[in-house]
Amino acid sequence: MIGWYELSDTLRATVAGIFGLFVGSFLNVAIYRLPREDVTVSNPKRSACPNCKRQIRWYENVPVVSWLALRGRCAGCRWKIPWRYPLVELLTAGLWAFAAARLAPEQWGLLGVHLLVLAGLVVATFVDFDCFEIPDEVSIGGIVLAPLVALLLPEIHADTWIARELSHGAPIGRWPALVATLAGMATGGGILWGIGWLGERLYGREAMGFGDVKLLCGAGGLLGPGGTLAALLVASLVASVVGVANIVRVLFVARSRVRRRRANRSFGRSFQTARIIGRYLPFGPYLALGIGIVLVAWNDVRAWF
């Protein structure tokens, strides 16, 4: 039997990508079920069409292929299956392939952590888009995972400054890695909590969801303090660009409605409305993006900065 080590880089990425497709299919289930009270991820065992409750057969559940074969519709009621289902599968496959391609075959432990975290970030992203919340399974999961990883796999902090200083040039030890983890958790959780606290004092409304605080706290434990700041910077930059684009979009829709109805509404008032509506964007997806980039490609990010 051919082992993981003998596979070429391309083949290893392909294997990870194919596993990613099936995991993505499972993540779709998690994204749908985690925020709902009446179901859990493992119960009921089989998925059903949300529209006609018809049980989905195994051959209707093959990632991407089934969606294409069914032309994006439920075989029972012709309900349109959102294109997000195959998208999540392809996204997970792409992320897993990319992560596998970036690590040496001996780093399979680290790869396992990367794959697990990437899967969690995909779930956090889409649940936050849907429900404006980040499931505790992901955020608290990260907070529990980070110290365990530091103890079992200290090399995850090979690029964390504080862990390197404490190891004096030797390979990163358990305790330096744990210190880096705790410092990263304090950085991630502390900064977002501080921003939230300040925002509430300044604007009198919730400025930062506690889910975001918990998510960056857990991620900070894996990224270390520097990586956490980089992830937050990436998240803020992308979120600002998307936020502005969203306000422009809402403004555009509002203005074309004004023109269609020949209503007498000033541009300034439309802009006010657009700013208020456009502001309601979840931050979790951008945090997840920043965390994922720094986790998998930290060295490239650092060179870029």
Q: How many degrees, rounded to 5, is the angle at CA 55 between CA 52 and CA 59?
A: 125
Note whether 105 binds Zn ion by CB under 5 A. Answer: no
Alpha-carbon gap, residue 16 to 14, rounded angstroms? 5
For 109-143, b/e burial (b = at least 16 CB within 10 A) is ebbebbbebbbbbbbbbbbbeeeebbbeebbebbb
User: Closest separation between CB of residue 37 and Zn ion, Å?
Assistant: 22
Alpha-carbon gap, residue 108 to 5, rounded angstroms? 10
Q: Which of 76, 94, 105, 147 binds Zn ion (CB under 5 A)?
A: 76
Q: Which is nearer to Zn ion, 66 or 125 (CB)?
A: 66
The pair of structure tokens assigned to 160 is: 């964390």
User: Closest separation between CB of residue 50 and Zn ion, Å?
Assistant: 8
Note whether 72 binds Zn ion by CB under 5 A. Answer: no
Q: Which is nearer to Zn ion, 69 or 198 (CB)?
A: 69
Note whether 185 binds Zn ion by CB under 5 A. Answer: no
The pair of structure tokens assigned to 148 is: 């365990």
Q: Find out whether the peptide bond into 282 is cis, omega within 30 degrees of 0.
A: no
Q: Which is nearer to Zn ion, 40 or 51 (CB)?
A: 51
Q: Which is nearer to Zn ion, 70 or 77 (CB)?
A: 77
User: Closest separation between CB of residue 55 and Zn ion, Å?
Assistant: 10
Q: Please, what sign has the CA dihedral across residues 192, 195, 197, 203? A: negative
Q: Which is nearer to Zn ion, 76 or 190 (CB)?
A: 76
Note whether 74 binds Zn ion by CB under 5 A. Answer: yes
- According to CB under 5 A, which residues from 41 to 60 bind Zn ion? 49, 51-52
* Chain contacts with Zn ion (rule: CB under 5 A): 49, 51-52, 74, 76-77, 79
